[in-house]
Amino acid sequence: MDYKHFHLLFRVGKYVLPVLAIAGLIVGLVEARKYQDQYSDEAQQARYRAAMTPEQRAEVDSAKALVEDRKLAQLACQQFVKRSLHDPEGSELGLAETFLATREGNGTWVVIVTGRARNGFDALRELTASCKVSRQGGNTQLISLTEIR
């Protein structure tokens, strides 16, 4: 490399390095802002929870537990239905969160599972099944599984 090329490289580098430094600074500031926003949301939620009465906290915790229990019942029923199919891999069941779920009490849930499944003739057909499960102590037990149509 001769002097002419080195001089050109130095001239270009003189402008590129500050631009890269500024870009790095901007990226760092954006990331710091994201972290600050996340921290402030968590702090705000903690302050909100601290301002609650014990009864309000218990009610919120109970509602969160009920939502989580419903999600687990929906997922379990989706798996129970899938395992009962002729061609589980060829099935097109909906998202578990979209299945209608009704709580009957004592941790018992009735979930309506919908989707499409292949029958013994390899035809894809509509499927609706009623699944009843019991959720006790972190375990899910199938009580009944009935095809509606």
Per-domain residue ranges of the chain: 1-51, 69-147
Report the CATH number of the 69-147 domain.
3.10.450
Counting beta carbons within 10 angstroms of the beta carbon of residue 30, is it exposed (0 to 12), middle (13 to 18) or buried (19 or more)?
A: exposed
pLDDT range class, residue 5, cuts 50, 70, 90 = low
Residues whose CB falls within 8 Å of the CB of residue 124, separated by 6 or more in sequence, listed in order: 90, 92, 116, 117, 118
pLDDT digits (tens, 9 = 90+) for 128-139: 999 999 988 778
- The pTM (predicted TM-score) of the whole model is 0.65
DSSP-based three-state secondary structure for 147 = strand
**Residue 9 above 80 pLDDT?**
no
